[in-house]
Structure 1
Amino acid sequence: MTDTHIDREVLSVLREVMEEGYPELLDTFLADSENRLHELQKASDAKALSEAAHSFKGSASNMGAVRLAELCQELESGAKIKSPSDIARLVADITGEFAEVRPVYENEKHHAHTH
């Protein structure tokens, strides 16, 4: 089954490259994502929104969260032109998508510690 949310290949590579640092990388990603979500939710102008979306997109794509990265990209490029209701919907989508993938990373972290 192909996972539309997460590119597992990216995770395998990260796991090999990072070795003991992998769980910490996952931790950092989860913590950063939380912060970026808050930034998105409280962003008051297009600039703040697109910057938060941009940095979130970068970390999401580094971590193989492909769908999350796509949504962030959409928000980043649309921050200046989309209507407030479209933006609110995208932020909600991003929040939902993160909630969807979060357990995968939590699970990775758990397994990384047990190997």
Structure 2
Amino acid sequence: MLDHKFIEKIREYGGKKALAEIVDLYFADQVQLLEHIREALAASDTARLRDRAHALKGCSINLGAVEIGSLCEKIERLSAAGELREAAALVDQLEFEASAVRHELQLELSK
């Protein structure tokens, strides 16, 4: 789920407003990147799938969503190997985890 140390550091250095801005940007990026990942799978576009999974991995890890980062890394490897069926199964997990992280981040913002 979420490594709360990352959130606390952002809150400590930037305050509640900075955290809210970063989380809002992350939510927008996460939704868009998940959509692009699904589109790439549907089109069997392994390069785009790998690229979008990599982008989601980076922004997620920076916010403490390490499980999303781990899933994205696996999707990157599978897409590089052309194993789209296996990648698709992980995308289902990724979307579940993304939903859980969004919920956790919303709770963090209410503190």
TM-score, normalisation: structure 1:
0.87
Secondary structure of 2:35's partner?
helix
Quick one: distance in 2 between partners of 1:51 and 1:99? 21
Offset, 1:110: 2.3
Map of 1:36 onto structure 2: 33
Quick one: distance in 1 between partners of 2:28 and 2:99? 13
Q: Kindly provide the amino acid, as one letter, of the partner of residue 47 in structure 2.
A: K
Give 1:71-90 correspondences, 5 Å limit. 71-90=71-90
> Bigger CA drift: 49-58 or 9-18?
9-18
> Bigger CA drift: 19-28 or 54-63?
19-28
Quick one: distance in 1 between partners of 2:25 and 2:87? 26
Structure 2 gaps, min length 5: none
Quick one: distance in 2 between partners of 1:95 and 1:49? 14
1:107 and 2:104 equivalent?
A: no
Offset, 1:82: 4.6
Map of 1:14 onto structure 2: 10
Taking only the aligned residue pairs, the percentage that are identical comes to 27
TM-score, normalisation: structure 2:
0.90
Give 1:34-73 correspondences, 5 Å limit. 34-43=31-40, 44=43, 45-73=45-73
Cα RMSD, aligned residues only = 1.1
Q: Runs of at least 4 residues of structure 1 off by over 6 A?
A: none
1:24 and 2:21 equivalent?
A: yes
